[in-house]
Amino acid sequence: MLDKSIPYKNIIMLRPAERAEAVRPMEPAERAEAVRPTDPAERQDPTECAESTERQCTLPLPPLPDGFSFRLYVPGDAKHWSEIETSVLEFDNVQAAEKYFSQDFLPHEAALRERMVFVVNKNGEYVATATAWWNDYKGRHQASLHWVSVRPEFQGLGLGGAVVSKALSLFPTFEPGLDVYLHTQTWSHKAVRLYSKLGFHICRTDTLGHKNNDYVEAMGILKKVLDASVYDNLEHAAVD
Partner 1 sequence: MNIRKLMPEELGEALALVWDVFSQFDAPDMEPQGIMVFRDFTQLNSIEKLVDSKVLTFTGAFAGGKLLGVLAMRGAAHISLLFVDPVYHRRGVARALFEQAKKETSGEVHRGITVNSSPYGVSFYRRLGFVPLEAEKEVNGMRITPMQFDLGSNQADG
Which positions lie near partner 1, rule CB under 8 A?
14, 16-18, 53, 55, 108, 111, 134, 136, 138-141, 176-179, 201, 204-207, 212-216, 235-240
177: left (phi over 0), alpha (psi -120 to 50) or beta: left
What's the Rg (C-alpha) of the chain?
A: 17
Residue 176 DSSP symbol:
T
Least gap, CB of 126 to partner 1 (angstroms): 24
Q: Which is nearer to partner 1, 12 or 191 (CB)?
A: 12
Q: Which is nearer to partner 1, 16 or 25 (CB)?
A: 16
Question: Are the C-beta atoms of residues 129 and 163 closer than 8 Å to each other?
Answer: yes
Least gap, CB of 139 to partner 1 (angstroms): 5
Q: Which is nearer to partner 1, 69 or 176 (CB)?
A: 176
Least gap, CB of 222 to partner 1 (angstroms): 14
Least gap, CB of 108 to partner 1 (angstroms): 6
Residue type, 204: R
Burial 34-60 (b: 16+ CB within 10 A, else e): beeeeeeeeeeebbebbeeeeeebebb
Q: Which is nearer to partner 1, 125 or 235 (CB)?
A: 235
